[in-house]
Structure 1
Amino acid sequence: MPSRKAPTARQRRLGTELRRIRERTGLSLTEAAAMLGTDRTTISNVESGRFGVSADRVRAWAGQYRCPDDAYVDALAEMAAERINGWWDDYRGDLSNKGLDLAEMEHHAVAIRSVQIMYIPGLLQTEDYTAAVFGESVPPPSPARGRRLVSHRLRRRDVLDRPDLTSCLFLVHESALRMVYGDAGVARGQLDYLLKQSERENVTVRAILFAAGGFPYASSSASYIYGAVPQLDTVQTDTSTGSGFQDSETSLENWRAALDRTEEKALDPESSRDFIRHIAQQV
Structure 2
Amino acid sequence: MALRTSTTERQRRLGAELRKLREQAGLSVTEGGDSIGMGRAHLGHVEAGRTAIPSDKLRMLCRAYRCTRAPLVEALVAMGEDKGKGWWTQYRHVVGQTALDLAELEAAADALLSYESLFIPGVLQTPEYTRSIFRSSQDERSAEDLEGAVRFRGERQQILIRERPSALHAVIHEAALHVRFGGAAVMRKQLLHLIRMAEPPHITIQVLPFTAEGLSAFSTPFLMVESHGSALETVLVETPATSLYVHESDAVAKYRSRFARLAAAALPPIDPAVSASAHESRDSLSLIQHLLYILQED
TM-score range, shorter chain: over 0.9
Is the 8 Å Cα contact of residues 75 and 231 (structure 2) preserved in structure 1? no
Q: Distance in 2 between matches of 1:21 and 1:242?
A: 27
Looking at structure 1, the residues matched to 41 and 261 of structure 2 have their Cα atoms a distance apart, in angstroms, of: 44
SS of equivalent to 1:277: helix
**Aligned pairs for 1:127-166 within 5 A:** 127-166=127-166
* Bigger mean CA offset, 171-180 vs 140-149: 140-149
CA contact (8 A) 1:4 1:52 kept: no
Match of 2:278 in 1: none
The residue type equivalent to 1:278 in the other structure is H
Q: In structure 2, what residue type is equivalent to 1:101? A: D
- Give the letter for the 1:274 counterpart: S
Return the offset for 1:14.
0.8
Residue 272 of structure 1 aligns with which residue? 284
Give the secondary structure class of the aligned counterpart of 1:253: helix
Determine if the alignment matches structure 1 residue 28 to structure 2 residue 28.
yes
Q: Distance in 1 between matches of 2:216 and 2:230?
A: 22
Per-residue displacement from partner, 1:104-143 (whole Å, max 9, x unpaired)?
Answer: 0000000001001000110000000000011111144222
Structure 2: which 5+ residue stretches go unaligned? Answer: 272-282
Which residue does 2:249 correspond to in 1? 249
Q: Deviations over 1:213-260 (max 9, x none)?
A: 342652211110012255520011122334321111222011011101
What CA deviation, in whole Å up to 9, does each residue of 1:184-226 have, x standing for no partner?
1101011111111011221110010000134265221111001
Using the alignment, how far apart are the partners of 2:259 and 2:155 within structure 1? 26
> Which residue of 2 is the match for residue 118 of structure 1?
118
Question: Alpha-carbon deviations, 1:7-65, whole Å to 9, x = none?
Answer: 21011111111111111011111222222222111000111110011221111110111
- Counterpart in the other structure of 1:94: 94
SS in 2 for 1:210: coil
- Share of identical aligned residues, percent? 33
Letter in 2 for 1:28: S
Residues 119, 176 of structure 1: 8 Å contact kept:
yes
Q: How does 1:209-220 map to 2 (within 5 A)?
A: 209-215=209-215, 217-220=217-220
Task: Please list, as runs of the form range in 1=range in 2, the aligned pairs for 1:59-78 lying within 5 A after superposition.
Answer: 59-78=59-78
CA contact (8 A) 1:117 1:218 kept: no
C-alpha displacement of 1:151? 1.2
d(CA) in 2 for partners of 1:104, 1:96: 13
- Further displaced range: 251-260 or 4-13: 4-13
Deviation at 1:3, TM superposition (A): 2.3
- 3-state DSSP of counterpart to 1:110: strand
Contact 2:32 2:61 in 1 (8 A): no
How many residue pairs align between the two structures?
A: 283
The residue aligned with 1:17 is 17
How far the C-alpha of 1:277 sits from its partner, in A, is 1.2
Specify the SS of the correspondent of 2:218: coil
State the 1:144 CA deviation.
2.2
Shift of 1:160: 0.4
CA–CA distance in structure 2, aligned partners of residues 76 and 26 of structure 1: 20
CA distance in 2, matches of 1:54, 1:215: 46
Q: Between 107-116 and 223-232, report the one with greater CA deviation.
A: 223-232
- Work out the CA distance in 2 between the residues paired with 1:93 and 1:5: 17
Partner-residue secondary structure (3-state), 2:225: strand
CA distance in 1, matches of 2:225, 2:117: 18
**Pair 1:24–1:216, CA change in 2 (3 A):** farther
User: Which whole-Å CA distance do the structure 1 matches of 2:25 and 2:145 have between them?
Assistant: 47
Amino acid at match of 2:223: S
- The answer to whether the 8 A contact 1:219-1:239 is kept is no
Q: Secondary structure of 2:156's partner? A: helix
- What is the CA-CA distance between 1:162 and the residue it aligns to? 2.7
* Contact 2:160/2:166 (8 A) holds in 1: no
Q: Distance in 2 between matches of 1:216 and 1:65?
A: 42
SS in 2 for 1:36: coil
- Give the corresponding residue for 1:281: 293
Corresponding position of 2:277? none
Q: 1:169: how far off?
A: 0.4
**TM-score (structure 1 length as normaliser):** 0.95
TM-score of the aligned structures, taking structure 2 as reference length: 0.90
Instruction: Give the corresponding residue for 1:238.
Output: 238
Change (3 A) 1:244 1:193: same
Letter in structure 2 aligned against 1:281: Y
